Amino acid sequence: MDIEQLKYTDLINQIGGLLQKGREQVAKSVNTILVQTYWLIGRHIVEFEQGGKEKAAYGTFLFEQLSEDLTQLYGKGFSRDNLLYMRKLYLNFP
């Protein structure tokens, strides 16, 4: 391999390293934003449930209905269980 080929190979490797680092940073940023979004969704659910009261009124079908409506509007990711986890995230990390 001549010197020009070695330089070119080094260029490819440097660009590859930059791309890999960028992709890792994007993944970390997306994960952070998703956690923040899920926490905020949890907060809205708790505030809606409680309606300004100190404790929530249970025995409602809020999560089932909310799951159906959000899934219909925004797609996957809003199962009843996921919504309960979002609520729990907010309650555990106020």
pLDDT tens readout for residues 14-57: 999 999 999 999 999 999 999 999 999 999 999 998 875 666 66
* pLDDT, mean of residues 87-94: 92
3-state secondary structure of 3: helix
pLDDT (tens digit, 9 = 90+) per residue, 1-18?
Answer: 788 889 999 999 999 999
Which contacts qualify for 33-36: CB closer than 8 Å, 24 or more apart? Answer: 35/89
- Supply the pLDDT for residue 60: 64
- Supply the pLDDT for residue 81: 94
- Supply the pLDDT for residue 66: 94
- Supply the pLDDT for residue 58: 61
pTM: 0.78
Alpha-carbon distance values, 23 to 17, 26, 54, 85 (Å): 10, 5, 44, 28
